[in-house]
């Protein structure tokens, strides 16, 4: 009998150890299979790849925020932060430097994180941004920064939204982001911000809602902001990025903004963009592959604002970055419904400033369905975007400008050797009469119509080849159209500064 006592003590020890492990996991909000943790401090002595279960939402902003933030503080690379069904309310950003893992809910219609004012009705708070030292960052719900080596960010299966009413007392003009940096320091500005250096991001099955309000009164400028470059623009970031099967609405300035990347890839596929400024804003890229396919864009900017459903834009003024390499862009099988001062697709190649000629974008625009509901501009605008292929697109409705415009734009640079083939513009009405315009800064462009696609083309360029369509002079520019274009160009110039 005496020899059995060690077995009993051993069993008691196992049970006691199991209780300690379970208690430690509970202290971390349900750390599945984790080794013992030291209170609420950093998890130590365990492998990566664990699941940290966040407690169910309480509806109390301070408590919900603390539960999520504690899990982020304790996670290790490769871990999963698992949110439960219900509505989490947060009164300030949840933040992680060097996040690498998965942040997910129980479904985009099941788990929601909402930005609200605090229990004491104080405005949405800010988080100190380690990436931009000395500057308070604008209010965001989720903030991940990467001053350190590359990480993988996976976000899925939840809803992120702004609550009712203003989140703070500061200015909420989205254009303040460009003109007055950090002017919006007391208002909620972005739903997800991921910035700095090198990282990959994969966002799928997420609803983004910038909340109610008009353009100037809105809380949200960006639904998603991905910035790869360093603050002094001495280099771009490197990474692979995708956003798929998401719904983005009420991003008053941009829904998906992607800027300062090189040697990278971005895929925007199967998403719905509603009531946005810029829908997909791909900006400052160098040697990147960009694919924008099978999305639906419904764009209606306010009067006096120029915004595009899809904007792909290479700059020519960041000379410390060296000579830009060519980026490949594919825009296909998207559906656009636009009105107001809007182009459905705008391709601008300013990288040639640095190149002194040639191109920094190779763009192909295929099989898109564009409806213009009295749009102030047009369907597709190519500015300095030589060698672009535009084929098999359908553009219908009514607009002031032509359905497809090709020119050097305000830069007075050339836009050469573009191919426009088999585009259907028969059901489009424009104030100019022509359906396609080749501006005075074009040469060597080819337009192939024929069959049922016989429409009028205004050719003001040199040595352009046009067959299967009718040529006509461009109509006179009315004062309203001229003023609208001046506003558009002025805004673009400001953004380039």
**Alpha helix (H) residue ranges in 144-231:** 176-179
What does the pLDDT read at residue 13?
45
What does the pLDDT read at residue 339?
81
Instruction: Please give the Cα distance from 325 to 330 (Å, whole number).
Output: 17
What does the pLDDT read at residue 86?
97
Residue 19 CB coordination number (10 Å):
10
The residue count of the chain comes to 497
Q: What is the pLDDT along the chain (497 residues), one digit of tens a residue?
A: 323 333 333 433 433 344 333 344 444 455 554 333 322 334 444 556 899 999 999 999 999 999 999 999 999 999 999 999 999 999 888 988 889 999 999 999 899 999 888 888 776 776 555 455 555 455 677 888 765 557 899 999 999 988 776 565 544 444 444 433 334 444 577 888 888 778 899 999 999 988 765 444 455 677 888 888 655 556 678 889 999 999 998 876 778 888 778 889 999 999 999 877 788 989 877 888 999 999 999 887 655 555 788 888 877 655 445 566 788 999 999 999 988 767 899 998 877 655 555 678 899 999 999 999 887 778 999 988 899 999 999 999 988 888 999 987 655 568 889 999 999 998 998 887 789 999 988 999 999 986 666 678 999 999 999 998 888 776 654 444 455 555 555 654 554 45
Look at the alpha carbons of 364, 459, 379, 421 in this order and tell me if their dihedral is positive or negative.
negative
What does the pLDDT read at residue 240?
93
What does the pLDDT read at residue 49?
83
Helix (H), strand (E), coil (C) string for 462-485? ECCEEECCEECCCCCCCHHHHHHH
What does the pLDDT read at residue 324?
63
* Alpha carbon separation from 413 to 72, 347, 452, 490 (Å, rounded): 49, 14, 33, 17
- 451 burial class (0-12, 13-18, 19+ CB within 10 angstroms)? exposed
Q: Which residues pair with 89 in a beta bridge?
A: 114
User: Residues 191, 224: contact at Cβ < 8 Å?
Assistant: yes
What does the pLDDT read at residue 486?
59
Look at the alpha carbons of 116, 245, 280, 130 in this order and tell me if their dihedral is positive or negative.
positive
């Amino acid at each position: 009998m005496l020899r059995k006592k060690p077995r009993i003590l051993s069993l008691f020890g196992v049970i006691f150890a199991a209780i300690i492990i379970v208690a430690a996991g509970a202290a971390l909000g349900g750390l599945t299979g984790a080794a013992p943790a030291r209170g609420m401090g950093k998890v130590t002595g365990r492998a990566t790849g664990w699941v940290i279960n966040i407690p169910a939402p309480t509806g109390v902003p301070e408590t919900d925020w603390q539960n999520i933030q504690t899990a982020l503080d304790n996670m290790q690379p490769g871990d999963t932060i698992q949110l439960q069904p219900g509505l989490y309310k947060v009164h300030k950003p949840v933040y992680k430097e060097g996040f690498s893992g998965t942040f997910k809910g129980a479904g985009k219609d099941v788990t929601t994180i909402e930005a609200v004012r605090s229990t004491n009705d104080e405005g949405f708070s800010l988080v100190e941004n380690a990436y931009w030292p000395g500057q308070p960052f604008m209010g965001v719900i989720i903030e991940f920064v990467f001053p350190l080596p590359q990480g993988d960010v996976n976000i899925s299966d939840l809803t992120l939204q702004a609550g009712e009413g203003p989140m703070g007392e500061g200015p909420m003009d989205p254009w303040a982001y460009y003109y007055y940096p950090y002017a919006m320091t007391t208002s909620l500005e972005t739903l997800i911000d991921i910035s700095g250096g090198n990282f990959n991001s994969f966002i799928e099955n997420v609803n983004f809602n910038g909340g109610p309000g008009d353009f100037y009164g809105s809380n949200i400028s960006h639904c998603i902001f991905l910035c790869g470059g360093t603050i002094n623009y001495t280099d771009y970031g490197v990474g692979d990025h995708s956003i798929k099967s998401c719904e983005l609405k009420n991003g008053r300035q941009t829904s998906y903004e992607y800027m300062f990347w090189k040697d990278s890839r971005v895929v925007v596929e199967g998403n719905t963009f509603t009531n946005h400024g810029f829908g997909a804003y791909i900006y400052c890229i160098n040697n990147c592959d960009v694919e924008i396919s099978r999305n639906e864009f419904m764009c209606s900017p306010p009067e006096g604002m120029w915004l595009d459903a899809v904007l792909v834009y290479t700059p020519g003024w960041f000379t410390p970055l060296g000579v830009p390499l060519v980026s490949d862009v594919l825009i296909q099988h998207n559906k656009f419904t636009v009105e107001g001062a809007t182009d459905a697709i705008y391709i601008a190649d300013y990288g040639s400033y640095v190149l002194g000629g040639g191109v920094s974008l190779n763009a192909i625009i295929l099989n898109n369905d564009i409806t213009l509901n009295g749009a102030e501009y047009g369907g597709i605008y190519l500015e300095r975007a030589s060698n672009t292929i535009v084929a098999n697109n359908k553009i219908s409705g009514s607009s002031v400008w032509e359905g497809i415009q090709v020119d050097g734009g305000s830069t007075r640079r050339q836009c050469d050797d573009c191919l426009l083939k088999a585009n259907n513009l028969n059901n489009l009405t424009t104030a100019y009469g022509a359906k396609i315009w080749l501006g005075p800064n074009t040469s060597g462009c080819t337009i192939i119509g024929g069959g049922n696609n016989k429409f009028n083309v205004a050719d003001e360029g040199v040595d352009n080849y046009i067959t299967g369509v009718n040529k006509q002079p461009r109509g006179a520019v009315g004062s309203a159209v001229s003023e609208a274009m001046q506003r558009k160009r002025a805004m673009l110039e400001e953004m380039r500064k």
